[in-house]
A and B are shown apart, each in its own frame.
Chain A
Amino acid sequence: MPISHLSHWGLLVTGDPLLYGADASIILASVGIVFVLTYFKKWKWLWREWLTTVDHKRIGIMYLIAAVLMLFRAGTDALMMRTQLALPNQHFLGPEHYDQIFTTHGTIMIFFMAMPFIFALMNIAVPLQIGARDVAFPYLNAISFWLFFFGAMLLNLSFVIGGSPDAGWTSYAPLAGLHFDPGPGENFYLLSLQITGIGSIATGINFLATIFKMRAPGMTLMKMPLFTWSIVATNILIIFAFPALAVALALLLIDRIAGAHFFTIHAGGLPMMYINMFWIWGHPEVYIVLLPAFGVFSEVVATFSRKTIFGYKAMVSSMLVISVVSYFVWAHHFFTMGGGVSVNSFFAVASMLIGIPTGVKVFNWMFTMYRGRIRMKMPMLWTIAFIPCFVLGGASGMMLAVAPVDYQFHNSYFLVAHFHEMLIGGVVFGMFAALYYWWPKVFGFILDEKWGRWAFWFWNIGFYVCFEPQYALGLMGMQRRMYTYPSGMGWTALNFISTIGAFLMGIGFLVMAGGIVYSIFKGERDLTGDPWDGRTLEWSLPSPAPHYNFAVIPTITDRDQWWTLKEQGKQDTLRPRPEDIQPIHMPKNSAKPFLIGVAFFAAGFGFVFNWYVLAAAGLFCIVILLLVRSFEYHSDYHIPVDEVVHTETALGRL
């Protein structure tokens, strides 16, 4: 929103009843939270148990809650857009407002829904799967979370203070430059993503160090569970792709606040360079969020077919091939740049090549199911729903990869349908499978099957009703990011159907949330720690796992260690023996990661409004907090043997 729309007495965005509604609901929700915490005397609990925690399991839960909340917010954005487009010539949203909403929808879904969801799963599952007591750098892990959290806060704040970004989730220059887009909205986008991106890079480093250096003895790389392998591939992508995004965002910010000429259209600036740099990160990013979903499907398919995964080595190598090739496809996002025949051919061929390892994986999942004893539990349902959806989206991806044809499809609803099919049918379905799969491990109860099935069918039917018409709309010439369209184009019926589908998915979300609430009270408690008859190490622990995870670190001899032991009737070898228990070395909680998040938030807010005193103060506080940490020599403690014995006895394991 341009700066002229800011009220003279402050920074609040005014003029739209929808925004006043949002203001009111934010204030009411904040007051409500403060009241509940005070009334139940939970402030200390919140601070001690959550805000200062360095426990990977709790950080995972916080990521999960944030991801679901952001799914709600950005999903609401989606429903507003579909409402606007349901019929021609609507005035529900004005053009400016529509621009802001599609921008925040995309930005939040990728950075503040998909990313925290995969970080939640990494935190929840990886240390338990490899037999570790925490991640390599628990303190850094907490910093990553708080950078994500305050980045997300900064972006969401733009809604009511200063105005939302409105140049699309890709924020292309020169449209996103100061000349065409004055006002703080774009700055919110650039700084919130920069802050959360630093956290993502730190997470990438953290989990690679964890997986490479902290596996239980005997667990060679080729004995790792496939989900852990997918996290290796994802984090390799993160550490090599995110710095490019950091630079792209920083340079655009320097253009905007210091008047430089990286991406302007005069003084030698080169807007296309921004687009290249953005997608050098952006295409690997697709696989950053998709590969963990592949890992989840591999775990779920093997568990619920009661079979070893088919083609383990092919699964590992296909993930690694995907992670390498995904660096060489970025220009397929803009074949229309005019790169010439050789450039476009290279990127077209590379884009098609990536279908081969992906195809290998799809076949392997099906071969795993073949002649398996399949149980149609919720995680398996989502996995089975994923396959046709993903294959269909993959086929339309192959069509988009054909460079000359892409000139027709480019930025049409055909593309919109394609990437939603990959990101919902691939990533979101995978995250849902994981949600139902690991939920009992995290919270100690199983999510209700009946509610789950209702949500599942609403989501699935809604998905196809919403997005299949969009392929047709794209071929009929409807472009993405149009805020309205005239009647008589032949688009009305398809748009209306698409909107119905979107609302079906919205109902699916609500039913899913209802199922969670129902299960909190009435869900089946998981007393065994192994509700699905699982195969990997995390199912050998009680649900939820004690905060040190493993009283005694297990020794690994097999890929499906827990399954093999159960087959041999030797489950007890993974129970701790009292004589083996030693004091356990654990990291202490710390307030500094939270404070670092606050300092980054202050610095970011200062830069958004060009208040350099606040920005400098924020940066200064960050340096001071890092120095204080450097002088800290006793950031850990030992849990005495007595306490471990006591905990394990209470869990019935001794």
Chain B
Amino acid sequence: MAAIVEHTHGRVEHDPRPVEYTVKDDSLKIFGFWLFLATDMILFATLFATFVVLRTHVATGPSGHQLFDVQGFIEETFILLTSSFTGGMSTFFMRRGSVRGTVGWLLVTAVLGASFVTLEITEFLHYVSIGATMQTSAFLSAFFTLVGTHGAHVSLGIVWMLAIVIQLFRYGITPATARRVFIVNLYWHFLDVVWVFIFTVVYLTGVMM
């Protein structure tokens, strides 16, 4: 953003605002990211609508009730919800100016995210191995696309977090790095909320139907 004349590189002392909001350029980017999340929400809403319409269109393939393994998706859910908490911890330490705390909790979050993705890939591979593929039925097309889009988001988030970890080591906690930590956590919490809906609409409703 161009209109900022009072741009400073260090944090202003006694500024009551959180560190990521102290430079106008950074707070503007946070606002922009909220707008992006709104568009991503519409994207997922459209995928959810598709899934809800097609969930009973199982053709000759299996239904969710036959397919879903309760223990598997409960594990995924607990891991991802925990990672949202650990992501929150990284913001907490970022606000206190602790590079070690921020980096540590970000790494924990990324590891939890990676185990979530591993479980999801294992789940997908299992379905494919028993012949339940994207090409089997409209229901499975919608299932793999919705859940897979979420998984792709999580995977991208992990790469992004690791990039921010390197930057934290290099520059410490400044308004610019703090903004990055804050935004990646916004993204992560958003994905968690989406997962809550996937858990409810896809898996829970699926096994009950």
Contacts of B39 in A (CB 8 A): 201, 204-205, 239-240, 242-243
A244 an interface residue at 8 Å Cβ cutoff?
yes
Q: Mark B1-44, 1 if CB is under 8 A from A, else 0.
A: 11111010000000000000000000011011001101110110
- Decide if B128 is an interface residue (CB 8 Å cutoff): no
The answer, among A137, A206, A214, A260, for a CB contact under 8 Å with B145, is A260
Digit string of B43-66 for contact with A (CB within 8 Å is 1, else 0)? 100110010011001111100000
Please judge, given known A-B contacts A254-B141, A268-B54, whether A213 and B28 are in contact too, CB under 8 Å: yes
Closest A residue to B138 using CB positions: A268
CB distance from A57 to the nearest CB of B (A): 12
B59 touches A261 (CB 8 A): yes
Check A214–B1 contact: CB distance below 8 A: yes
The reply to whether A209 and B35 contact each other, CB–CB distance below 8 Å, is yes
Contact A244 B1 (CB under 8 A): no
A262-B32 contact given A205-B39, A553-B3, A585-B7, CB 8 Å threshold? no
Collect the chain B residues with CB atoms within 8 Å of residue A254's CB: 134, 141, 145
Structural contact, B54 and A209, CB atoms closer than 8 A: no
Which of A260, A273, A582 is in CB contact (< 8 Å) with B5? A582
Indicate which residue in A214, A259, A268 contacts B59 across the interface (CB closer than 8 Å). A268
Find out whether the CB atom of B1 lies under 8 angstroms from the CB atom of A134: yes
* In the complex, per-residue mask of B135-172: 1 if CB is within 8 Å of any chain A CB, else 0: 11111011011000000000010011001101100010
* Least CB distance, B146 to chain A, in whole angstroms: 10
A534 at interface by CB-CB < 8 Å? no
Q: A205-B32, A270-B54 are in contact. Are A244 and B171 (CB under 8 A)?
A: no
A244 with B46, Cβ < 8 A, contacts A136-B28, A261-B135, A630-B180 known: yes
Q: Could you tell me if A585 and B3 are in contact, using CB atoms closer than 8 angstroms? A: yes
Is A623 part of the contact surface with B, judged by Cβ < 8 Å? yes
What separation, in Å, do the CA atoms of A338 and B208 have in the docked complex? Answer: 32
Q: Verify B47–A268 contact, CB threshold 8 A.
A: no
Report A193-220 residues with CB < 8 Å from chain B CB.
201, 204-206, 208-209, 212-214
Least Cβ–Cβ distance between B176 and chain A, in angstroms? 6
Least distance between B57 CB and chain A CB atoms (Å): 3
Q: How far is the CA of A585 from the CA of B137 in the complex (A)?
A: 56
Contacts of A627 in B (CB 8 A): 159, 163
In chain A between 107 and 123, which residues have their CB closer than 8 angstroms to a CB of chain B? none
> Which residue of the partner chain B has the closest CB to A277?
B46
CB-nearest residue of chain A to B36: A205
Residue of A at shortest CB range from B166? A631
Q: Which of A258, A262, A636 counts the most chain B CB atoms within 10 A?
A: A262
B44 to chain A, nearest CB (A): 9
User: Given A273-B50, A584-B5, is A267 in contact with B145 using a C-beta cutoff of 8 Å?
Assistant: no
Within 8 A of B (CB), among A90-146: 132-134, 136-138, 140
A587 on the B face (CB < 8 A):
yes
Chain A: CB-nearest residue to B180: A630
Chain B residues positioned under 8 Å from A209 (CB to CB):
28, 31-32, 35
The smallest beta-carbon distance between B65 and chain A, in angstroms, is 16
Give the complex CA separation of A243 and B46 in angstroms: 8
Across the interface, which residues of A come within 8 angstroms of B3, CB to CB? 132-134, 214, 553, 585
Report how many residues on chain B are interfacial, defined by Cβ distance under 8 Å.
Answer: 47
Closest residue of A by beta carbon distance from B47: A247
Task: Decide if B32 touches A206 in the complex (CB within 8 Å).
Answer: yes
Instruction: Tell me the complex Cα distance, A273–B53, Å.
Output: 9
Chain B residues with CB under 8 A of A259: 134-135
Which B residue sits closest to A586, measured CB to CB? B2
> Is there a chain B Cβ closer than 8 Å to A251's Cβ?
yes
Contact A205 B35 (CB under 8 A): yes
A254, B40: Cα distance in complex, Å: 19
Q: Which of A225-272 contact B (CB under 8 A)?
A: 239-240, 242-244, 246-248, 250-251, 254-255, 258-262, 264, 266-270
Q: How far is the CA of A553 from the CA of B24 in the complex (A)?
A: 16
Q: How far is it, in angstroms, between the C-alpha of A585 and the C-alpha of B3 when the chains are bound? A: 6
The residue from A248, A251, A587 contacting B2, defined by CB atoms under 8 A apart: A587
Most chain-B Cβ atoms within 10 A of its Cβ — which of A250, A548, A585? A585
Please indicate the chain A residues that have their CB under 8 angstroms from the CB of B160 in the complex. 630
Q: Does the CB pair B171–A633 fall under 8 Å? A: yes
Q: Which residue of A lies closest to B160 (CB)?
A: A630
Residue pair B1, A136 in contact (C-beta under 8 Å):
yes
Point out which of B40, B138, B163, B164 has the most chain A C-beta atoms below 10 A from its C-beta.
B138
Cβ of A32 within 8 Å of any chain B Cβ, yes or no, is no
- Contact between A270 and B5, CB atoms less than 8 A apart: no
* Cβ-neighbour of A270 out of B57, B61, B156, B167 (below 8 A): B57
CB 8 Å contact bits of A482-493 with B (1 = contact, 0 = none): 000000000000
- Chain A residues with CB under 8 Å of B139's CB are 268
How far in angstroms is the closest Cβ of chain A from B161? Answer: 11
- Residue in B closest to A548 when the chains form the complex, CB atoms: B2
Q: Is B167's CB under 8 angstroms from A630's CB?
A: yes
CA distance A464 to B164 in the complex (A): 59
A633 — nearest CB in chain B belongs to which residue?
B176
How far apart are A375's CB and chain B's nearest CB, in angstroms?
34
**One of B29, B58, B144 near A137 (C-beta < 8 A):** B29
Contacts A212-B31, A258-B135, A261-B141 known; A270 to B1 CB distance under 8 Å?
A: no
Q: Answer yes or no: A583 CB below 8 A from chain B CBs.
A: yes
* A248 proximity list for chain B (CB < 8 A): 46
Cα distance, A266 to B142, chains bound together (Å): 15
- C-beta contact mask, A397-418 vs B, less than 8 Å → 1, else 0? 0000000000000000000000
A13 vs B61: C-alpha distance in the bound complex, in angstroms?
Answer: 40
A216 and chain B: residue at smallest CB distance: B3
Q: Which of B3, B31, B57, B164 has the most CB of A within 10 A?
A: B3
A292 to chain B, nearest CB (A): 19
Nearest CB of A to B34, in Å: 9
User: Are B135 and A260 touching (Cβ within 8 A)?
Assistant: yes
Complex contacts, B38 vs chain A, CB 8 Å: 239-240
A residues contacting B by CB (< 8 A) are: 132-134, 136-138, 140, 201, 204-206, 208-209, 212-214, 239-240, 242-244, 246-248, 250-251, 254-255, 258-262, 264, 266-270, 273, 277, 280, 548, 553, 582-587, 623, 627, 630-631, 633, 636
Q: A205-B32, A267-B136, A277-B50 are in contact. List 13 more A-B contacts (CB 8 A).
A: A205-B36, A242-B39, A247-B43, A250-B145, A261-B141, A264-B138, A277-B46, A553-B3, A584-B5, A586-B2, A587-B1, A633-B171, A636-B7
The 7 A-B residue pairs with the shortest CB-CB distance in the complex, in nearest-first order:
A268-B57, A268-B138, A260-B141, A243-B42, A133-B2, A247-B46, A134-B2
A-B contact pairs, 16 of them (CB 8 A): A134-B3, A136-B1, A137-B32, A240-B38, A243-B46, A247-B43, A254-B145, A267-B135, A268-B137, A584-B5, A586-B2, A587-B1, A623-B156, A627-B163, A630-B180, A631-B166
